[in-house]
C-alpha cells in the first residue's frame, strides 16, 4: 500500500462558474474527513486517541468552514484553494501566539491537507488504517507514524528516503517490522503489486503473483548465549537493551538483557500534543523500570527535536533542526524546557523508588563540560546518584576528560556521532555510506574515548546501532568500551561473538579496524584476523 504524500499547494484558479455549488462542496468534505478520523480515534487509545480527538475538533471548526466558503463566494477561489488559504491564515495566527497554541498550527496544516486531498479526489495523506496485511511504501515516514504501525498488519516498510540509522528504521526494527529504507524509485511500485521485501539484503523486487510474494526477515542465526556478556577470558561486558516502552522492556528481559542501556523516553510521547501528565509519565517509566528490578536501567531524558519532534517541546521553523535546539539544549533556552526536564527527572526518580530498578539518567546532545555539569546538578537535586551524558557530538570527544570529570558515565550514540562527524544527515539515503559505523574515522574517535576512560576511570558504553553488529562489538570492546546496548534481537548474536574472543584478541581487532582506510577494508581486515 502506498502512503500518500500531502497534496501540495492547490492553484489559485480557475474562478468557479457556480460559486454556491463550489462552496457547498467544502462542508461535506470536512464531515467526511472528520468521520474517518473519528473511526480511527474510536480504535485508538492513549496519546494517539488524544491527538486524533484534538484534530477532529479542528476539522469541525465552524470558523474554518465559514472563512473557506467566503473565499469561494467572494474571493473567486476554487474550493481546495479556499480551504488552503483559510487554514493557513488560522495556522499562522496560532503560530504567532506561540506556546501551546503555537504548537497546534501543525494540526491545522494536517487538517488542511486532508480536506484539500478529499476535495481533489486524492487519497488521504499519511498512513491509512490497513484493513488487511500489506507492505507500506512511502517517500518517508515520520517516527510518530512508524511507532503507530502494527506488526503483522504492516508486513514491511519500504521508504525512498532515510538511512539505516534513521529513527524510522530503528523504530521499525524494534517493532520487528522489516524495513528497507533509502530505496530509490520505491514509489514507482504500482498499488496492489506483489513484492518480495528482503529486510536483510535491503532489496525489494516485484513479482507476478501472491504466491511468489514474501517478506524475508533479516536472518538471525540461532546462537547460544548464556545471558552474561563477557569475553572468552572472562572480561565482563554487560549486554544491555535499547527500549522505548514497557512492552519493549519486557521483551528485552525475556531475551536476557542484563539491563537497559538506552531507554529512549521520547518515543513514548511522539504524538502527545501536550506535556504528558505526571501520571502518564509514571505509567511509562514504571513499566520500563519494573521489568528490570535490581538491574541497571539508563533512561535518557527527552531527545526532542530534529527528526523526533515532540509537539509540546520542539521549536517550530528552525532552518536546520538537527543542528538546532535538540535534546538537552531545549532545557537551556527560554521556554518550558527547563520545567519539563525537572518534572521528568522527578518522575524517573520516583519510578526507581517504586520499582527497585538501579536508575541511571543521561542527557542527549551534550557538547561541552559545562552542559554536563548543569545536567549532573539537576540529577543530583532529584537524588539521582548515577548521571551521565551521551557522546554524540565530535566536540564532546575532544573534551572527553573534562566531561568525564563531571559525570558518572558516558554513552556513545554512534548514530548521531557519525552524522555530526561526517556532516551526513542520518535520514538521507544518498549519504548513508558515510554513516557506516565501520568508518575508521568514527572508530578512531571511539578509541580516543576509550583512552580517556582508562585514564579517568569513568566507563564508556555504546548504545548506537554499532553495538548491535556482532562483528563490530569485539572491536568496540577492544577500543575500551565497557558496556554495549542494542535492540534486544541482537543480544544473543553479540553475546556469542564476544564469548569467542579474548580481550587481547578484541584489542588486536580494534587496531586493524582503526588502521584500515575505509569501512569495507575495516570489515575485511577484522574478518581476516578473527581466529
Ligand atoms: C545515537 O545517536 O546513536 C543514539 C543512540 O540515539 P538516537 O538514535 O536515539 O538519536
Ligand atoms: Mg542520538
Identify the residue whose C-alpha is closest to ligand 1 atom 4: 413
CB of 426 closer than 6 A to ligand 1? no
Question: Per-residue pLDDT for 160 more than 80?
Answer: yes
CB of 281 closer than 6 A to ligand 1? no
Q: Looking at the chain, how many residues does it have? A: 531
2-16, 107-121, 481-495: least confidently modelled range: 2-16
CB of 118 closer than 6 A to ligand 1? no
Identify the residue whose C-alpha is closest to ligand 1 atom 10: 416
**Which has more pLDDT, 201 or 313?**
313
116-130, 171-185, 208-222, 456-470: least confidently modelled range: 208-222
Instruction: Indicate the top mutation candidate among 364, 424, 442 to test ligand 1's pocket, ranked by most ligand atoms within 8 A of CB.
Output: 364
Distances (CA, A) of 411 to 74, 296, 525: 60, 14, 26
Q: Which atom of ligand 1 is nearest to the CA of 167?
A: 8
Cβ 52 vs Cβ 37: under 8 Å: yes
CB of 326 closer than 6 A to ligand 1? no
CB of 262 closer than 6 A to ligand 1? yes
Q: Which atom of ligand 1 is nearest to the CA of 416?
A: 2
Query: How confident is the model over 412-428, as a mean pLDDT?
Result: 96
**pLDDT digit string, tens, across residues 334-355:** 989 999 999 999 999 999 999 9
CA 417 – CA 63 distance, rounded (Å): 47
Give the ligand with the smallest distance to the CA of 466.
1
Task: Collect all residues with Cβ–Cβ distance below 8 Å to 215 and sequence separation of at least 6.
Answer: 135, 155, 156, 178, 196, 197, 199
Mean pLDDT value across the chain: 90
Q: Is residue 466 very low, low, confident or very high in pLDDT (cuts 50, 70, 90)?
A: very high
Name the grid cell of 306.
530534529
Is the sign of the CA dihedral 438, 439, 442, 444 positive or negative? positive
Of the ranges 48-57, 371-380, 487-496, the best mean pLDDT one: 371-380
Nearest to residue 438, comparing CAs of 405, 462, 469, 409? 469
Query: How confident is the model over 405-421, as a mean pLDDT?
Result: 98
CA angle (183, 185, 186) in 5-degree steps: 60
CA 395 – CA 417 distance, rounded (Å): 10
Query: Angle formed by the axes of helices 46-59 and 26-43, to 10°?
Result: 170
pTM across the whole model: 0.75
Q: Is residue 525 very low, low, confident or very high in pLDDT (cuts 50, 70, 90)?
A: very high
| 249 alpha carbon, distance to own chain's centre | 17
Q: Which atom of ligand 1 is nearest to the CA of 364?
A: 6
Instruction: Indicate the top mutation candidate among 309, 427, 464 to test ligand 1's pocket, ranked by most ligand atoms within 8 A of CB.
Output: 464
Question: Per-residue pLDDT for 44 more than 90?
Answer: no
Percent of the chain with pLDDT over 70: 94
Instruction: Indicate the top mutation candidate among 413, 419, 469, 487 to test ligand 1's pocket, ranked by most ligand atoms within 8 A of CB.
Output: 413
CB of 197 closer than 6 A to ligand 1? no
* Backbone region of residue 335 per phi and psi (left: phi > 0; alpha: psi in -120 to 50; beta: other values): left
CA 519 – CA 441 distance, rounded (Å): 9
Q: How far is the CA of 171 from the centre of ligand 2 (A)?
A: 13
Question: Per-residue pLDDT for 15 more than 70?
Answer: yes
Cβ 137 vs Cβ 1: under 8 Å: yes
Q: What is the 3-state secondary structure (H, E, C) of 317-365?
A: CCCCHHHCCCHHHHHHCCCCHHHHHHHHHHHHHHHHHHHCCEEEEEECC
CB of 290 closer than 6 A to ligand 1? no
Q: Which residues are catalytic?
A: 167, 463
CA angle (354, 359, 360) in 5-degree steps: 160
Residue with cell 504548537: 103
**pLDDT digit string, tens, across residues 18-41:** 999 999 999 999 999 888 888 877
* Backbone region of residue 202 per phi and psi (left: phi > 0; alpha: psi in -120 to 50; beta: other values): left
Query: How confident is the model over 442-454, as a mean pLDDT?
Result: 98
Identify the residue whose C-alpha is closest to ligand 1 atom 1: 413
pLDDT (0 to 100) of residue 222: 61
Percent of the chain with pLDDT over 90: 60
CA 105 – CA 398 distance, rounded (Å): 40
CB of 266 closer than 6 A to ligand 1? no
**pLDDT digit string, tens, across residues 63-111:** 889 999 999 999 999 999 999 999 999 888 877 776 666 667 777 887 8
Query: How confident is the model over 434-456, as a mean pLDDT?
Result: 97
Question: Per-residue pLDDT for 234 more than 90?
Answer: yes
Q: Which atom of ligand 1 is nearest to the CA of 414?
A: 3
Q: How far is the CA of 82 from the centre of ligand 1 (A)?
A: 42
Domains and CATH numbers, the chain: 1-222 (1.10.274.10), 239-529 (3.20.20.60)
**Which has more pLDDT, 368 or 4?**
368
Query: How confident is the model over 406-430, as a mean pLDDT?
Result: 95
Amino acid at each position: 500500500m502506498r502512503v500518500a504524500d500531502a497534496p501540495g499547494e492547490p492553484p489559485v484558479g480557475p474562478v468557479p462558474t457556480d460559486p454556491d455549488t463550489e462552496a457547498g462542496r467544502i462542508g461535506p468534505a470536512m464531515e467526511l474527513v472528520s468521520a474517518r478520523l473519528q473511526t480511527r480515534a474510536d480504535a485508538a487509545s492513549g496519546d494517539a486517541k488524544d491527538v486524533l480527538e484534538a484534530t477532529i475538533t479542528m476539522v469541525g471548526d465552524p470558523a474554518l468552514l465559514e472563512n473557506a466558503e467566503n473565499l469561494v463566494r467572494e474571493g473567486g477561489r476554487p474550493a481546495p484553494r479556499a480551504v488552503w488559504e483559510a487554514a493557513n491564515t488560522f495556522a499562522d495566527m496560532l503560530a504567532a501566539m506561540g506556546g501551546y497554541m503555537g504548537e497546534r498550527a501543525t494540526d491545522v496544516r494536517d487538517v488542511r491537507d486532508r480536506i484539500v486531498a478529499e476535495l481533489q479526489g486524492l487519497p488521504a495523506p499519511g498512513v491509512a488504517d490497513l484493513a488487511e496485511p500489506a507492505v507500506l511504501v512511502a517517500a518517508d515516514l515520520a517516527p510518530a507514524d512508524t511507532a503507530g504501525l502494527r506488526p503483522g498488519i504492516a508486513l514491511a516498510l519500504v521508504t525512498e528516503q532515510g538511512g539505516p540509522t534513521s529513527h524510522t528504521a530503528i523504530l521499525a526494527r524494534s517493532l520487528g517490522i522489516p524495513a528497507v529504507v533509502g530505496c530509490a524509485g520505491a514509489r514507482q511500485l504500482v498499488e496492489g503489486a506483489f513484492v518480495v521485501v528482503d529486510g536483510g539484503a535491503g532489496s525489494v523486487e516485484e513479482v507476478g503473483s501472491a504466491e511468489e510474494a514474501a517478506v524475508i526477515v533479516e536472518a538471525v542465526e540461532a546462537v547460544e548465549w548464556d545471558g552474561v556478556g563477557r569475553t572468552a577470558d572472562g572480561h565482563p561486558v554487560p549486554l544491555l537493551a535499547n527500549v522505548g516502552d514497557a512492552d519493549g522492556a519486557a521483551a528485552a528481559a525475556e531475551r536476557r538483557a542484563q539491563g537497559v542501556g538506552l531507554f529512549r523516553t521520547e518515543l513514548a510521547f511522539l504524538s502527545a500534543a501536550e506535556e504528558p501528565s505526571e501520571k502518564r509519565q509514571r505509567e511509562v517509566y514504571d513499566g520500563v523500570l519494573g521489568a528490570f528490578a535490581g538491574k541497571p536501567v539508563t533512561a535518557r531524558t527527552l531527545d526532542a527535536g530534529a527528526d523526533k519532534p515532540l509537539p509540546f517541546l520542539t521549536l517550530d521553523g528552525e532552518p536546520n533542526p538537527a543542528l538546532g535546539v535538540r535534546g538537552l539544549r531545549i532545557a537551556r533556552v527560554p521556554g518550558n524546557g527547563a520545567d519539563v526536564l525537572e518534572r521528568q527527572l522527578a518522575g524517573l526518580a520516583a519510578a526507581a523508588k517504586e520499582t527497585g530498578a538501579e536508575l541511571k539518567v543521561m542527557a542527549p546532545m551534550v557538547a561541552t563540560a559545562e552542559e554536563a555539569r548543569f545536567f549532573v546538578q539537576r540529577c543530583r537535586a532529584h537524588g539521582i546518584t548515577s548521571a551521565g551524558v551521551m557522546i554524540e557530538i565530535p566536540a564532546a570527544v575532544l573534551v572527553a576528560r573534562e566531561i568525564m570529570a563531571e559525570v558518572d558515565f558516558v554513552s556513545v550514540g554512534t548514530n548521531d556521532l557519525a552524522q555530526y562527524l561526517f556532516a551526513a544527515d542520518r535520514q538521507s539515503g544518498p549519504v548513508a555510506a558515510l554513516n557506516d559505523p565501520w568508518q575508521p574515522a568514527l572508530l578512531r574517535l571511539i578509541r580516543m574515548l576509550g583512552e580517556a576512560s582508562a585514564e579517568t576511570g569513568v566507563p564508556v558504553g555504546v548504545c548506537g546501532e554499532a553495538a548491535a553488529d556482532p562483528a563490530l562489538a569485539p572491536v568496540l570492546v577492544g577500543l575500551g568500551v565497557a558496556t554495549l546496548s542494542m535492540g534486544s534481537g541482537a543480544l544473543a548474536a553479540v553475546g556469542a561473538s564476544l564469548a569467542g574472543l579474548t580481550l587481547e584478541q578484541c584489542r588486536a581487532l580494534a587496531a586493524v579496524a582503526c588502521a584500515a582506510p575505509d569501512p569495507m577494508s575495516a570489515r575485511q581486515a577484522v574478518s581476516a584476523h578473527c581466529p
